[in-house]
Amino acid sequence: MSTLEDGIIIKGLTTAGKAFRPSDWAERLCGVMRCFERDQQGYNHITYSEYVRPTLFEGVKSVIVHHALEEIKPEAYRFFLEFAESNKLQVVELPSIEPQG
């Protein structure tokens, strides 16, 4: 897991405490920021953005969104915040949490 910096966690729980579905929502959501990279052998593979990553937080599928994304791609940062708001997902500020694992 990358170093936790300033940012937010979008938890896979609604404000009513229900699990968000589908079960792979975090990977799908982070997929909008994926890119293809070529490794040392010349093979292409998909990597997640350094600014948006799926994770487990308190045993719940979640997404880390670093605040640096707001400076680099403000429209993408707003997209993630609007996704959380429109789906009534819980959002936690990163400075208030400890890294897991």
Rounded to the nearest 10°, the torsion over CA 92, 94, 96, 101 is: 110
Q: What is the pLDDT along the chain (101 residues), one digit of tens a residue?
A: 344 568 999 999 999 999 999 999 999 999 888 776 666 777 777 778 889 999 999 999 999 999 999 999 999 999 999 999 999 999 999 865 555 55
First-to-last CA distance in the chain? Answer: 8
For 7-95, CATH number out of 3.40.47.40, 3.40.50.620, 3.40.50.880, 3.30.70.2340 equals: 3.30.70.2340
Q: Which of 86, 55, 51 is nearest to 69 (CA)?
A: 51
Domain spans in the chain, listed from the N-terminal domain onward: 7-95
